[in-house]
Structure 1
Amino acid sequence: MRVGAHVSIAGGVDNAVGRQREVGGNCGQIFTHSPQVWQDPNIDDEEAEAFREGTARDLDGPWVIHSSYLVNLCTPKDDLRAKSIDSMQKEVDAAAKLGVEYVNVHLGAHTGAGVERGISNAASALDELDVPDGVTVLVESDAGSGTKLGGDFEHLARVLDESDQELDVCLDTAHAFAAGYDLSTEVGVANAVSEFDDVIGLEHLKCVHLNDSKHECGTNKDEHAHIGEGLIGDEGMRAIVNHPDLRDVPLVLETPNEDGKGFAWNIARVKELRAN
């Protein structure tokens, strides 16, 4: 079972390996810099080598780099589009340097341009990237609030279809639940996985962000809860981690650190649900 968490790179990206082991993870996710600002990854050769060696020695992988929250691939604004493409190029280059397989990105918001143009903008922005060999961009499912795209599986499928890049998908369970896919029961999970396969294709599912939700299904509200303690709940989480089509997909947690519970507690809970 490949399960891990989004860990900090404070003090050097190589420190992420030890932090992942401390919480009981064997794969995981990082930011290469603060996701709230336009900033370039600053990773020197020594750190990169230590990260690669530590990962090979201590973890099963894969790692995922999560792009900046400021990136908006759907935007109709030329300046934001240019910044988003530049930021993504630096992320895929950093991934190659670190030996990281995946760079994860939200499609962003069309901000009034409409769904059709938003999807076209996202696909063409991704086509601007020179993605190094061994790195794949994952487009992430979204909670679908406002004009954000990616809440509907069809949005993701169309970007994959319209882009010339070899793209894959990261499914966030809390986002999908918020977008209206009821993952709170075994039947609901089975239906959602079947729909994902029909619309996108399970061969494109390379990572699951495993998060419970603090808000009801279909509310478009994105707020993560501890595994089994949100509105997806134990039944839904158990169904997800034991679904035969999801068992081999890496699970990366972005659960909160609150109520005396952090990543270690949540990863242990996932392992309990898988075993039972």
Structure 2
Amino acid sequence: MLRIGAHTSIAGGVHNAVEEQLEYAGNCGQIFTHSPQVWQDPNIGDEEAERFRELSEENDVGPWVIHSSYLVNLCTPKDDLREKSIDAMQKEVDAAAKLGVPYVNVHLGAHTGAGVEGGLDNAASALEELEIPDGVTVLIESDAGSGTKLGGTFDELAAILERCDQDLDVCLDTAHMFAAGYDLSTPEGVDETFAAFDDQVGLEHLQCVHLNDSKHECGTNKDEHAHVGEGLIGEAGMRAFVNHDAAEGVPLVLETPTEDGKSFAWNVERVRELHEA
């Protein structure tokens, strides 16, 4: 079964994310446990956590992914930011266990002068400090690769998995990959990208995809999402991606914009159309 859903809100209680997902006709999804723009602990009560788990199971919505705060920077050389990032990630994986969510997604962050190797070492050692509950996996998300941010290349993703003793996996973002220089606009480009990922990281580590089209050209390192099939990846590339053998069974989570009269529901339906084509 195709697993396609959207990033949904927990406003009014985390269980409301399931109701919102159903409105979009989604059957998997992603949430923040709090505002991603501030340092804040998840505040999820036992009853709403139970309701979230029950609604998800009753409606066959899953798997879910928790996206960590945008402030988390695992690559940082700054001690205070490192400690805040580790603490925030620990609270996210604990919240995931409470909710029965199997994945916590995180960007590696920026090395801000530590250098690529130093940043990768910092990230791997920060992840080592987490006590990850059974049933929860941290996913390293591919990045658009601007500035000193890491995770834009498959080599960098592979380096984290190799340097860290934790059982980590990967979330690929199609818009980020495209921005980082992986051309997904043609079936041939999709084939080549999946082959490169398999060679450098391993397809067995691909556990989630953020399915977004791009408003900017391949290789620009500019991260701005577009509706599925209506950006510069385009319909042919998106169709090839969602129908590729390497994507079979992998949950697809939309982070597409709400504009031009099109919302998550439009994009969910669009992906299903492309998948069936």
Compute the TM-score of the two structures, normalised by the length of structure 1: 1.00
CA deviations over 1:222-267 (Å, ceiling 9, x no partner):
0000000000000000000000111211000000001110100000
1:143 counterpart residue number? 144
Q: Following superposition of structure 1 onto structure 2, how do residues 63-82 of structure 1 map, counting pairs within 5 Å?
A: 63-82=64-83
2:217 counterpart residue number? 216
Task: Establish whether residue 251 from structure 1 lines up as the match of residue 257 from structure 2.
Answer: no
Superposition deviation, residue 13 in structure 1: 0.2
SS of match in other structure, 1:104: strand
Pick closer, same or farther for the CA change 1:130–1:104 going to 2, 3 Å.
Answer: same
Distance in 1 (CA, whole Å) between partners of 2:216 and 2:259 is 17
CA deviations over 1:97-147 (Å, ceiling 9, x no partner):
000000000000000110000000000000000000000000000000000
What amino acid is the match of 1:248? G
Distance in 1 (CA, whole Å) between partners of 2:198 and 2:62 is 24
1:99 counterpart residue number? 100
Identity %: 76
What amino acid is the match of 1:142? D
Distance in 2 (CA, whole Å) between partners of 1:61 and 1:16 is 12
Q: Following superposition of structure 1 onto structure 2, how do residues 183-194 of structure 1 map, counting pairs within 5 Å?
A: 183-194=184-195
Task: Establish whether residue 119 from structure 1 lines up as the match of residue 120 from structure 2.
Answer: yes
SS of match in other structure, 2:247: coil
Superposition deviation, residue 154 in structure 1: 0.5
Distance in 2 (CA, whole Å) between partners of 1:134 and 1:248 is 19
Query: Residues 26 and 61 of structure 2 are in contact (CA less than 8 Å); yes or no, is this contact kept in structure 1?
Result: no
Task: Establish whether residue 13 from structure 1 lines up as the match of residue 14 from structure 2.
Answer: yes
SS of match in other structure, 1:138: strand
**How many residues of Structure 1 are paired with residues of Structure 2 in the alignment?**
276
Query: What are the ranges of 5 or more consecutive residues in structure 2 without an aligned counterpart?
Result: none
Query: Residues 28 and 64 of structure 2 are in contact (CA less than 8 Å); yes or no, is this contact kept in structure 1?
Result: yes
Query: What are the ranges of 5 or more consecutive residues in structure 1 without an aligned counterpart?
Result: none
Superposition deviation, residue 61 in structure 1: 1.0
1:154 counterpart residue number? 155
Question: Which aligned segments of 4 or more residues in structure 1 are displaced greater than 3 angstroms?
Answer: none
Superposition deviation, residue 60 in structure 1: 3.8
Task: Establish whether residue 173 from structure 1 lines up as the match of residue 174 from structure 2.
Answer: yes
What amino acid is the match of 2:53? R
Distance in 2 (CA, whole Å) between partners of 1:112 and 1:58 is 47
Distance in 2 (CA, whole Å) between partners of 1:160 and 1:252 is 22
2:270 counterpart residue number? 269
What amino acid is the match of 1:185? T
1:132 counterpart residue number? 133
Distance in 2 (CA, whole Å) between partners of 1:164 and 1:26 is 32
SS of match in other structure, 2:246: coil
Superposition deviation, residue 59 in structure 1: 2.4
CA deviations over 1:50-102 (Å, ceiling 9, x no partner):
00000011124100000000000000000000000000000000000000000
Cα root mean square deviation, aligned:
0.4
Distance in 1 (CA, whole Å) between partners of 2:192 and 2:107 is 24
